[in-house]
Amino acid sequence: MILRQILRLSSRFHSAVSVQLRRNIGLSAIVFNKTKELDPVQKLFLDKIREYNTKSKQAGGPVDAGPEFQKEMNESLARLQRAYGEGDLTKFPEFKFE
Residue 35's pLDDT is: 47
- Encode pLDDT of 46-90 as tens digits: 999 999 999 888 887 777 878 898 899 889 888 888 888 777 777
Total number of domains constituting the chain: 1
Q: Is residue 55 within 8 Å of 47, Cβ to Cβ?
A: no
More confident residue, 91 or 71: 71
Angle at 55 between CA 49 and CA 60, to 5 degrees: 120
What is the domain extent for residue 36?
7-54
Say whether pTM exceeds 0.85: no
Residue 28's pLDDT is: 65
Residue 9's pLDDT is: 64
- Encode pLDDT of 8-59 as tens digits: 667 666 676 666 666 666 656 666 665 457 788 888 999 999 999 998 888 8
Residue 38 lies in a domain: yes
Residue 25 lies in a domain: yes
Residue 51's pLDDT is: 92
Residue 62 lies in a domain: no
Residue 87's pLDDT is: 73
Residue 93 lies in a domain: no
